[in-house]
């Protein structure tokens, strides 16, 4: 693939162009995370297999789709969210702004094919400091088991030397339907194409957004420019590894939706824990819904890794209408993102879990403070 570098681009933003495919940098505001959540329905395991988790039934109010205000994003916020096409782009730029280049590279479905080698990808961002976003109207379409999203977005960019530039960008994002996966591995929502063109700062945002994706189909159904709520109900889609609460919630959301390959992907070494895939799926065969409450997440840094413990309680309903209540703890790990240099990127994942069945009438809030001891 031929690659040409634009001098202005290197000064202002350090975009790398590959056959007119550009990658750019940005951040986004983090999802609000609670340490203890109210109940919601979702799906656990049997008494002998490890249950999943659920979160609060937050109301989802989509943000306006055309256009929204500029959103500045502090780099200290860690965002790894593939729940919506806009959050994929947000997470991508958050990774770049934080210098977590392997994570950014990983948001491309075929990074070596579209972006070149990882080292080349990293070199394209040495002058980039910060970018803020303005999303336009995101549209979607389907084909052969895939969902396609066309994402127009303005990039308000700053280079490390203080030079600023505005770019009208367009991304095409693919999502293979999660329910269609029958065996591991799971392939999450990701970027397959991106382009960007500089525009005069005197041009208003709406006009710049109107033509950002003119070369792509934009007449499909609209998709909300928003984060999905931390809600594990089967009618929501949550694939978020920004923190332990989000990761465990995503696991349960996948189980609620019967997306077992996706659920299995949230474990770091799933063949070891929780065990072989077929047995894992069988363990959830008689489970329908679960109500859950989270305790306060715990974290520590050890030898270049981030470790978390997430206490939670779950009330599981079985196919025979019986109910079981579980209290326990998941352990999660994230290798320092900025210290990962060899593809593929290893996201936050579950490494262990320990749950006990308790009486259905017990006050689980009293048990959560000691659930991870």
Residue at 50 is within a domain: no
Query: 250 and 346 share a domain?
Result: yes
Looking at residues 133-152, what average pLDDT do you find? 92
Query: 217 and 292 share a domain?
Result: no
Residue at 257 is within a domain: yes
Choice among 8-22, 75-89, 169-183, 195-209 with the minimum mean pLDDT: 8-22
Residue at 41 is within a domain: no
| Nearest of 181, 184, 344, 356 to residue 271 by alpha carbon | 184
pLDDT at 215: 83
pLDDT at 72: 64
The CATH number of residue 290's host domain is 3.10.450.50
The CATH number of residue 207's host domain is 3.10.450
Query: 273 and 330 share a domain?
Result: yes
Looking at residues 168-184, what average pLDDT do you find? 97
pLDDT at 210: 93
Query: 212 and 112 share a domain?
Result: yes
| Structural domains counted in the chain | 2
Query: 213 and 256 share a domain?
Result: no
Is the pLDDT confidence value at 94 over 90? Answer: yes
Looking at residues 248-264, what average pLDDT do you find? 94
Q: What is the pTM of this model?
A: 0.82
Over the stretch 319-353, which tens digit does the pLDDT of each residue have?
999 999 999 999 999 999 999 999 999 999 999 99
Average pLDDT, the chain: 82
pLDDT at 20: 31
Chain Cα centroid distance, residue 85: 9
Q: What percent of the chain has pLDDT over 90?
A: 65
**Residue 82 sits in which domain range?**
3-32+60-223
pLDDT at 77: 92
pLDDT at 286: 93
Residue at 235 is within a domain: no
> 74 pLDDT band (50/70/90 cuts)?
low
Over the stretch 6-50, which tens digit does the pLDDT of each residue have?
222 322 333 322 323 333 333 333 333 333 332 332 223 322 223
Are the C-beta atoms of residues 67 and 211 closer than 8 Å to each other?
Answer: no
Over the stretch 118-129, which tens digit does the pLDDT of each residue have?
999 999 888 889
235 vs 104, which has greater pLDDT?
Answer: 104
Query: 251 and 218 share a domain?
Result: no
Over the stretch 211-238, which tens digit does the pLDDT of each residue have?
999 888 777 788 877 788 888 888 899 9
Is the pLDDT confidence value at 102 over 50? Answer: yes
> 69 pLDDT band (50/70/90 cuts)?
low
pLDDT at 38: 29
pLDDT at 4: 32
Query: 289 and 330 share a domain?
Result: yes
Is the pLDDT confidence value at 161 over 80? Answer: yes
């Amino acid at each position: 693939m031929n690659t040409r570098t634009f001098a202005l681009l290197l000064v202002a933003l350090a975009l790398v162009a590959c056959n007119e495919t550009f990658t750019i940098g940005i951040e986004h505001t983090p999802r609000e995370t609670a340490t203890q959540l109210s109940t919601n329905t979702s799906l656990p395991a049997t008494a002998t297999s490890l249950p999943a988790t659920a979160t609060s039934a937050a109301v989802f109010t989509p943000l306006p789709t055309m256009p929204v205000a500029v959103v500045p994003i502090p780099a200290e916020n860690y965002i790894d969210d593939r729940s919506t096409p806009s959050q994929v782009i947000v997470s991508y730029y958050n990774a770049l702004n934080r210098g977590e280049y392997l994570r950014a590279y990983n948001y491309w479905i075929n990074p070596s094919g579209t972006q070149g080698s990882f080292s080349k990808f990293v070199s394209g961002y040495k002058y980039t400091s910060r970018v803020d976003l303005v999303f336009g109207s995101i549209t979607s379409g389907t084909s052969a088991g895939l969902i396609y999203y066309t994402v127009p977005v303005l990039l308000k960019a700053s280079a490390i030397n203080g030079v600023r530039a505005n770019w009208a960008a367009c991304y095409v994002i693919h999502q293979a339907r999660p329910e269609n996966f029958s065996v591991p591995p799971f392939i999450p929502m990701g970027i397959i194409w991106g382009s960007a063109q500089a525009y005069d700062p005197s041009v208003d945002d709406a006009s710049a957004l109107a033509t950002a994706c003119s070369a792509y189909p934009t007449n499909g159904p609209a998709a909300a420019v928003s984060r999905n709520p931390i809600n594990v109900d089967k009618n929501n889609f949550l694939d978020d590894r920004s923190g332990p609460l989000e990761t465990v919630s995503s696991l349960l959301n996948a189980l609620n939706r019967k997306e077992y390959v996706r659920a299995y992907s949230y474990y770091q070494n799933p063949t070891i824990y929780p065990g072989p895939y077929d047995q894992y799926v069988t363990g959830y065969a008689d489970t329908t819904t679960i109500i859950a409450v989270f305790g306060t997440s715990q974290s520590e840094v050890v030898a270049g890794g981030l470790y978390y413990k997430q206490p939670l309680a779950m009330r599981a309903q079985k196919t025979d209408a019986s109910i079981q209540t579980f209290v326990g703890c998941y352990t999660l790990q994230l290798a320092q993102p900025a210290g990962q240099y060899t593809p593929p990127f290893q996201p936050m994942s579950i490494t262990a879990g320990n749950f006990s069945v308790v009486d259905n009438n017990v006050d689980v809030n009293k048990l959560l403070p000691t659930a991870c001891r």
